[in-house]
Amino acid sequence: DLNNDGSVNILDFTLMKQYIVSVAELDEQGLANADMNSNGEINIFDAVLLARDIIKSDTNTDPAESEESTITLLGDSIETSSSTVKIENSVATITVPGTYTITGTLNDGQIIVDVDKTLYPEGAVELSLEGVDISCSDNSPLYIASIGDECTISVKKNTENVISDGTSYTNADEDSGAIYSKDDIKIKGKGSLTVNGNCADGIVGKDDVKIYNGNITVNAADDGIRGKDSVRIGNPDDLGTEGAYDNLSVTITTKGGDGIKTTNETDEGKGYVTINGGTVNINAYADGIQAEQAFTLSGGDVTINTYEGSSFSGNASSGSWGGGGGMQDGNSGKTDISAKGIKSNGTMTLSGGTVNIDSSDDCIHAASDITFTGGTYTLATADDGVHSDADLIVNGGTIDVTKSYEGLEGVNITINDGSVKAVASDDGFNAAGGTDNSGSTSPGGWGQGSWGQGSGNYSLNINGGYVFIDAGGDGLDSNGSITITGGYTVVNGPTSNGDSPVDCDGSASMTGGTVLALGSTGMISEGYPSGNAYFASTSLNASAGTQLVITDDSGNVLAAYTTIKQSGGIIFTSDGNTSYHVYTGASYTPGTAVGNDGLYTGGSYSGGTEVTSGGGGGGFNPFGR
């Protein structure tokens, strides 16, 4: 008993460590008690013996006989029932693992968790918040300095809890955050917690940040939730369990930073953001979500708004925030900050959930591969809908880009299944980037694109699924090859002759599936595939609202579609047929609807006028070059 308080606990161990390094003094009785091995010296060996005794004492204590650990906040002071909580003025320091119930209001003070990892390497602390309002003007109101395992914040059902920091300070870790943890932190419960990060960030974790349950609201001057190693929304162990995430809601508003971010860029397997379920609403000045190494979405209902949303228009800038890849796509309306919806400086995997993004920068952006396997995504942006600096792969899911500069962009774009719709002022799909309709009037839309002019090792592949494009520039654009082997593809291409429904700088192949590409005729030959199993014509000349019925030589309806804008030319192929007829003004009885944009297969027709027909390439030389 070094401090002569009648008990031997972590406070005595802390005092001994301070004495050994000459930062604390002991009275005569304390000195006598500190000499654990009775050798006349006080050193690290005595500290080890004291630690052993404390651990043994804790282990042998019957939980039923343990004292109730409560911390009561009384405005300008604090009271506690626990001998393991140190009170100094308006600061309560928890030094031993356990569960601590906290109630009341603290006008200007702190709750600190500082559990010695040497004594308690597996130690865990749970803070049960039951209607607290904690403010601190010059420090982090809730500061986890040390914990062996993790600190859990449990937000009790039917309670409202608020934690707010001041507008200018630096904490003991030379950082700031209303809730700040140097070790793992977890938030759970069925109550409500509002975190006001008035200085900078709301919730900060130097290791892992886990939010598993609760109604959590974060308002931050800079970043909402910042975790170094990871941020996890929803317990991954609950995936597939009905109703597991019903009590999980996270709402984040930031004035100057990201909504959720991770920062570990060096340690393999770290720096990731994962959303498994719950409701996530983010209104961010900068990026909605920024993962340093990887982002994974398995479920949940996610809504993200960044900067000024998709209505933003401004001047191009290299930006002071940057990050996540360097394609230059010629969009002169880029933000000068990174204001993307979801950004990963590594990979991105999206397998479930419902996502709505309205962003000034790219909605979904990764510096490495992006893979969709499920989920529903509604995206509106002033830049790219989905952008990968590597491979962009769609194996499933529903993607609807309702507004964009370019719909999908990547080095290699592959659609294997699912539904992808894109409305774009420039290109619908763009393999390898580039600057169509901006920065250059060269054929094929070359210009400021950072990968330069001409064809390259880039590809656009459609093997299945449903693709619908409404593009002001090229509908399908590849600086390398285009290969279509299956699925249904509808392209409503440009009305200006400086672009093409399909633009391919390398080889084009359409050997399967159904492709209907409409648009201007000035450069339409750039999309003609090899072989003779397609039809192309520059004499369609169909105005918006014209119903087209396309048949084979036997009169079987291969496709029917109503144009949505002026279409001078057509490229069409359907499962290897070599001869096609196009009718307008026919009376058509619909067959099978494909998607919900007016494309049908089968059915029957009568009357009408044949406006163009042909096969084997429509009599045009492929590529027309």
| 186-199 tens-digit pLDDT | 999 999 999 999 99
Q: What are phi and psi of 565, to 5 degrees?
A: -160, 170
pLDDT at 65 (0 to 100): 34
For 598, how many CA atoms within 13 A lie in the half-sphere containing its CB?
14
Higher pLDDT, 591 or 7: 591
Does the pLDDT at position 24 exceed 90? Answer: no
pLDDT at 434 (0 to 100): 40
Q: What are phi and psi of 18, to 5 degrees?
A: -65, -35
The whole model's pTM is what?
Answer: 0.85
Does the pLDDT at position 170 exceed 70? Answer: yes
Cα separation, 499 vs 539, whole angstroms: 17
DSSP state of 47: H
Average pLDDT over residues 271-285: 99
Q: Kindly list the distances between the CA atom of residue 506 and the CA atoms of 277, 448, 596, 602, in Å, as whole numbers in the listed order.
A: 43, 19, 32, 33
Higher pLDDT, 352 or 523: 352
Cα separation, 453 vs 444, whole angstroms: 9
Cα separation, 282 vs 268, whole angstroms: 28
pLDDT at 40 (0 to 100): 76
pLDDT at 23 (0 to 100): 60
Q: Kindly list the distances between the CA atom of residue 72 and the CA atoms of 189, 193, 350, in Å, as whole numbers in the listed order.
A: 20, 18, 44
User: How many degrees, rounded to 5, is the angle at CA 349 between CA 597 and CA 484?
Assistant: 45
pLDDT at 313 (0 to 100): 85
pLDDT at 440 (0 to 100): 30
Report the 10 Å Cβ neighbour count for 67: 11
Does the pLDDT at position 218 exceed 60? Answer: yes
What pLDDT, in 10s, does the model give residues 27-60? 877 777 877 777 778 787 777 777 777 766 554 4
Q: Kindly list the distances between the CA atom of residue 429 and the CA atoms of 61, 171, 465, 514, in Å, as whole numbers in the listed order.
A: 67, 48, 15, 17
**What is the rounded average pLDDT for all residues in the chain?**
88
Can you name the residues that pair with 572 across neighbouring β-strands? 516, 535
Does the pLDDT at position 417 exceed 90? Answer: yes
Higher pLDDT, 619 or 73: 73
- CA 33 vs. chain centroid, Å, equals 56
Percent of the chain with pLDDT over 90: 75
pLDDT at 616 (0 to 100): 65
Q: Closest by alpha carbon to 467, among 419, 426, 423?
A: 419
CA dihedral 265, 267, 273, 274 (to 10 degrees): 160
pLDDT at 133 (0 to 100): 99
Does the pLDDT at position 135 exceed 60? Answer: yes
pLDDT at 315 (0 to 100): 53
Does the pLDDT at position 19 exceed 50? Answer: yes
Contact present, 275 and 351 (Cβ < 8 Å): no
pLDDT at 6 (0 to 100): 66
Q: Kindly list the distances between the CA atom of residue 20 and the CA atoms of 11, 23, 41, 47, 145, in Å, as whole numbers in the listed order.
A: 14, 8, 10, 9, 21
Average pLDDT over residues 363-372: 98
What pLDDT, in 10s, does the model give residues 433-455? 543 333 232 323 222 233 333 45
Q: Kindly list the distances between the CA atom of residue 301 and the CA atoms of 175, 191, 277, 349, 377, in Å, as whole numbers in the listed order.
A: 32, 20, 7, 16, 10
Tokens 């672009």, residue located: 499
pLDDT at 569 (0 to 100): 95
Cα separation, 330 vs 325, whole angstroms: 15
Region for residue 300 given its phi and psi (left: phi exceeds 0; alpha: psi -120 to 50; beta: otherwise): left
What pLDDT, in 10s, does the model give residues 69-81? 999 999 999 999 9
Sorted by sequence, the CB contacts under 8 Å of residue 182 that are 6+ apart come out as 144, 145, 146, 173, 206, 207
Does the pLDDT at position 149 exceed 50? Answer: yes
pLDDT band for position 3 (50/70/90)?
A: confident
What the block records as the tokens of 529 is 């595939």
pLDDT at 455 (0 to 100): 55
pLDDT at 27 (0 to 100): 80
Higher pLDDT, 49 or 215: 215
pLDDT at 55 (0 to 100): 65
Does the pLDDT at position 83 exceed 70? Answer: yes
pLDDT at 329 (0 to 100): 54
Q: Minimum mean pLDDT among 103-117, 434-448, 458-472, 511-525: which range? A: 434-448
Sorted by sequence, the CB contacts under 8 Å of residue 113 that are 6+ apart come out as 93, 94, 125, 127, 143, 144, 145, 146, 147, 151
Q: Closest by alpha carbon to 262, among 349, 178, 203, 191?
A: 203
Cα separation, 595 vs 618, whole angstroms: 28
Q: Which helix (H) or strand (E) holds 600?
A: strand 599-601
Does the pLDDT at position 621 exceed 90? Answer: no
Q: Minimum mean pLDDT among 65-69, 273-277, 423-427, 592-596: which range? A: 65-69
Q: Is 301 exposed, middle or buried (0-12, 13-18, 19+ CB in 10 A)?
A: middle
Q: What are phi and psi of 355, to 5 degrees?
A: -125, 130
Average pLDDT over residues 335-350: 94
Query: How many residues make up the chain in this entry?
Result: 625
pLDDT at 89 (0 to 100): 94
Q: How far apart are the first and last CA of the chain?
A: 92
